[in-house]
Amino acid sequence: MRDLLKGARIAVKTCMGVRRGESVLVVTDSPRLKIAEALLKAARAAGAEATLICMQTLSRHGEEPPEVVASAMRAVDVVLAPTTYSLTHTQARHQACRAGARIATMPMITEDMMRRGAMLANYRKVNRRTKKMAALLSRASEVEVNSPTGTELSLSLKGREAHSDTGIFHQPGDFGNLPAGEAFIAPVEGIAEGRAVVGGSMVGFPRETVEIIIKKGMASKISGAHAAKLKKLLKAVGPKAYNLAELGVGTNPKARLIGNIIEDEKVLGTCHIALGDNSTFGGKVRAGVHIDGIILRPTVKLDEKIMMRRGRLMV
């Protein structure tokens, strides 16, 4: 466990700002238990009243946890959730934040990710960059995304507010991922058009790509070597799973492309889209699933201003 404690201390002290006497809940499942135990130890060392819940592994990102877990999340000051599947876009997380909890979800995090890479970033610098990118997204009405691999996508952001996953969650209701580092927004539903070519980490095959055709804000065609896995998951959830839910921009210079979406989407110089639920960050679709896909070396144009050109920030 000792080699996991550096990342755990960063999560507890720097990112969550845990103070003596606060209540901390660590929510996990069996595959992430060692990471959870390191976080528990770091929280107790910080003087917190810390508890660990190990639940049964869920079946997909965005699935609601058991009510006993959701209830516990609403009753504490801080939640750290190293789990196999993400609790970020769940009503359990949303309601806990409304109750005042500070929450860091850590889906698919590995022991290697606790030791190196994005988790060890200077989060104060990530915080500043991320807030700047979010402000630019919030001011934009239209966005175009292109990439050398064939992405040609247009979206409307009119009236939508971007969010900052900064890695600094010190105020009641703050939430985000750890490792952190993205600015993200829910595009206006029913408007996006074009083609997105995303990395295969979306479906567990990072060396491959998946092509998604978007019509009227919905994924209408999905192709690629392992597209069947994604199509099967979306079909099982239902029509709302095909919603183009998110546009995000990575802001963490320590993040690596490792085939794990929770770190891949934070890589500085990338952007990502997601399908499914956006109800917890300003959208109108509640789908019970949220799946991200990375776009490499993108050019991102906000109205008439180039935000990123072939993976290089221009602002």
pLDDT more than 90, % of the chain: 90
Same domain, 130 and 145: yes
CB 301 within 8 A of CB 144: yes
Same domain, 230 and 108: no
Final residue before a domain boundary, out of 65, 93, 115: 115
pLDDT of amino acid 2? 74
Same domain, 38 and 107: yes
In the beta sheet, which residues pair with residue 209? Answer: 199
Which two tokens mark 43? 């929280």
Average pLDDT over residues 15-28: 98
Distances (CA, A) of 62 to 91, 190, 238: 9, 21, 14
Final residue before a domain boundary, out of 59, 87, 115: 115
The single-letter DSSP state of residue 5 is: H
Mean pLDDT (the chain, rounded): 95
Give residue for tokens 């055709």: 213
Final residue before a domain boundary, out of 59, 89, 115: 115
Nearest CA among 29, 47, 15, 8 for reference residue 175: 15
pLDDT tens, position by position, 240-296: 999 999 999 999 999 999 989 899 999 999 999 999 999 999 999 999 899 999 999
Same domain, 143 and 94: no
**Which comes out higher in pLDDT, residue 61 or 191?**
191
Sign for the CA dihedral angle at 233, 237, 242, 243 comes to: negative
pTM over 0.85: yes
Same domain, 135 and 82: no
Same domain, 127 and 176: yes
Same domain, 190 and 80: no
Give the CATH number of the domain where residue 40 resides.
3.40.1830.10
Same domain, 165 and 286: yes
Amino acid at 116: R
pLDDT of amino acid 146? 98
pLDDT of amino acid 211? 96
pLDDT of amino acid 254? 97
Instruction: In whole angstroms, give the CA distance from residue 52 to residue 81.
Output: 10
Q: What is the DSSP string of 218-268?
A: EEEEEEETTHHHHHHHHHHH-GGGGBEEEEEEE-BTT----S-HHHHTTBT
pLDDT of amino acid 38? 98
Q: Range of 61's domain?
A: 2-115
pLDDT of amino acid 200? 66
Same domain, 35 and 105: yes
* List of residues 6+ apart from 277 with CB closer than 8 A: 62, 89, 240, 243, 245, 283, 285, 286, 287, 288, 289, 290
Same domain, 179 and 79: no
How many structural domains comprise the chain? 2
Same domain, 33 and 136: no
Average pLDDT over residues 70-93: 97
